[in-house]
Amino acid sequence: MAQYIPDVRFIASIYPGVLPTIRRHYGPSRQSEGVGAQRSTAFTLQPVARGKKPFVLPLYDSFENVLDIVSLSSMGNKAEKPRLPKPVPVETIVADLLKEWTGGLFNVPQGAMPGVIEIRPMKVELEKWEKSGTLPGATVSELDQMETQQTLYFEYLFTEGERLHKQNNWKEITDTMRTAAEWLGHEREWSHRAIARDSGPCPWCQAIVPNIAIVCNTCGRQVRETPPHLAHLEKPSAALRP
């Protein structure tokens, strides 16, 4: 009987932020012990700084445990349900992960998405992977594809960040928009995480004002109520009154 050799595919990413970890009920690990235990695998992409080599995730054919319908009908109300291993082709896994990491984006330009794709290594790279575990790299055209789709995506997010800032809608600016500005090399007040955490826009002139400020340094108007322990400073003392 011939030995089963699982097929392997590779997903590459140049995304600089944190994409969601995806957990699926297939793979080599189990969430618990016993015959009825569920298989479980967590798929994670590591952030990549601009100009660095893509992160490459190898994927294989896998198996999931499904209910054995034939045996189940004869077991009655027993708590332990019979299960059978079912193959999950690697093509299905790749399509599922790419859909989760790059799909479902609304109102973005066509082709705009995180720089995450499936790469197709050459035969010599696959041989190195099989012999030494050396991960394959992306080709020039694959790198161009990742750069192009991520640039479109981040330019859209950056434009949205600019629009929200001009509308004084500071709370709607997301961390992903700040990641986009940083990756594109655009420095804005709204794109700095430290400023975003400790500051907000003046409601009158939209200049950035520290959260602890009472008066805007740009327009001179009061942006917050004076704390009670400082209120007496706004009133002239009796000794100074004429």
CB contact at 8 A, 30 and 63 = no
pLDDT of residue 242: 43
Number of Cβ within 10 Å of residue 234's Cβ equals: 8
| Residue 96 bridge partners (DSSP) | none
Domain boundaries, the chain: 8-167, 208-240
Would the pTM count as exceeding 0.95?
A: no
For residue 23, name the pLDDT band (cuts at 50, 70, 90).
very high
| Tens-place pLDDT, residues 24-83 | 988 765 554 555 456 688 999 999 999 999 999 999 998 887 666 666 566 556 656 666
What is the Cα–Cα distance from 67 to 1, expressed in whole angstroms? 27
The answer to whether 56 and 136 are in contact (CB under 8 A) is yes
CA dist 43 and 97 (Å) reads 8
pLDDT digits (tens, 9 = 90+) for 134-156: 999 999 999 999 999 999 999 99
Alpha carbons 69 and 119: distance in angstroms, whole number: 38
Q: To which H or E segment does residue 67 belong?
A: strand 62-67
Q: Band of the pLDDT at 162, cuts 50, 70, 90?
A: very high
Residue 208 has pLDDT above 90, yes or no: no
Q: How far apart are CA 147 and CA 156, in angstroms?
A: 14
Q: Which residues contact 27 (CB under 8 A, 6 or more apart)?
A: 39, 40, 41, 62, 63
- Average pLDDT in the 167-191 region? 91
